[in-house]
Amino acid sequence: MTTLKKTKTSIPVAELMSSGHLACQGCGATMAMRYALKGLGDRTVMVVPACCWTVISGANPRSSINLPLLHSPFAAAAATATGVKAGLVSRGDRETTVVAWAGDGGTFDIGIQALSGAADRDEDILYVCYDNEAYMNTGVQRSGGTPSGAWTMSTPAGSARPKKDLDAIMLAHHIPYFATATPAYAEDMVRKFAKARTVKGFRFIHILSPCPPGWKTDPMDSTKLSRLAVQTGLFRLYEVEEGVTRLNMNVTNRKPVEEYLKAQGRFKSMPAGEIAAIQRRVDAAWEPEKGRPS
């Protein structure tokens, strides 16, 4: 374990993200971008498809990040980033990191074709999914990232289907670097982005990103919730490099999932039996293997 002093200085002080962005209070996607940019640095171009970040980045002519940014069609973040990289290379710039930054809807659902295509071609880009587990920009509808039992505007009785296993889909593409992260573990996140910057080929980072209005939670609780997601074992922090999996946090003494679920209004009408079933699934996934959740 690192000391507190070391932890503090391990994160770059320089900010590429500014105040005055247009996110809700307690937005995990905003924290995620801030840490991501600390790891990536300023030789970065961002591609953002339709999602909350379309708004968060600021309306014309303002911008909340001090980087070149290209807004892209909803379905095409990975393809647009592919083109940006090719365009930069054709101009002789091989250094700049090109990042596609998309929500779960733009990743698990509509953007999955372009994402799979780019991963399959091993394009030299970094794709980041900040997963707030629903379509938030259009007012909270179910996406493929929505967990079972969660209320959304299109699943008023709670989503009947389990969360799509996107990690498995991405890993099936044999990509050189894959990682998960949450803003509660800032140091881990910054390190992963700094690492991803140095890897050549297709890289993917999956971030669990709390969303107070969509999760029906207090803006104050976002960090706590993203930490609880890890501590309950619902969201694993791990990375896969050239096929080798490394668990970044082995939560042997897991907190009960109820603690995470009960704290959120979106799981309010979830029956106790369902919570117990989720607990059993999480326990089964953690024991005995310590890799990726199945």
Ligand X SMILES: Cc1ncc(C[n+]2csc(CCOP(=O)(O)OP(=O)(O)O)c2C)c(N)n1
Residues 49-78 that bind ligand X (CB under 6 A): 50-52, 74-75
Q: What is the 3-state secondary structure (H, E, C) of 74-97?
A: HHHHHHHHHHHHHHHHHCCCCCCE
Distance of CA 204 to the CA centre of its chain: 9
Residue whose tokens read 């910057």: 197
**Distance between CA atoms of 26 and 223, rounded to whole angstroms?**
8
Nearest to ligand SF4 of 134, 234 (CB atom): 134
Residues 33-52 that bind another protein (CB under 8 A): 42-45, 47
Tokens of 204: 């993917």
Contact between 68 and another protein per CB under 8 A: yes
Tokens of 175: 């990509």
Of 105-113, 148-156, 208-216, 262-270, the window that binds ligand SF4 (rule: CB under 6 A) is: 208-216
Contact between 52 and ligand SF4 per CB under 6 A: yes
Q: Phi/psi of residue 142, each to 5°?
A: -65, 140
The candidate with the shortest Cα–Cα distance to 67, out of 34, 90, 112, 102, is 34
| Shortest distance, position 127 Cβ to another protein, whole Å | 13
Contact between 27 and ligand SF4 per CB under 6 A: yes
Tell me, by CB under 6 A, how many residues bind ligand X. 16
**Distance between CA atoms of 20 and 257, rounded to whole angstroms?**
35
| Shortest distance, position 36 Cβ to another protein, whole Å | 16
Of 35-43, 79-87, 129-137, 180-188, the window that binds ligand X (rule: CB under 6 A) is: 129-137
**Distance between CA atoms of 157 and 264, rounded to whole angstroms?**
15
User: CA of 91: how far to CAs of 15, 46, 69, 97, in Å?
Assistant: 28, 18, 18, 14
**Distance between CA atoms of 7 and 3, rounded to whole angstroms?**
6
Residue in 12, 73, 201, 256 binding another protein, rule: CB under 8 A: 73
Residue in 44, 57, 80, 137 binding ligand X, rule: CB under 6 A: 137
Contact between 212 and ligand SF4 per CB under 6 A: yes
Residue in 41, 68, 176, 213 binding ligand SF4, rule: CB under 6 A: 213
Residue in 106, 147, 214, 233 binding ligand SF4, rule: CB under 6 A: 214
Residues that bind ligand X (CB under 6 A): 50-52, 74-75, 102-106, 132, 135-138, 143
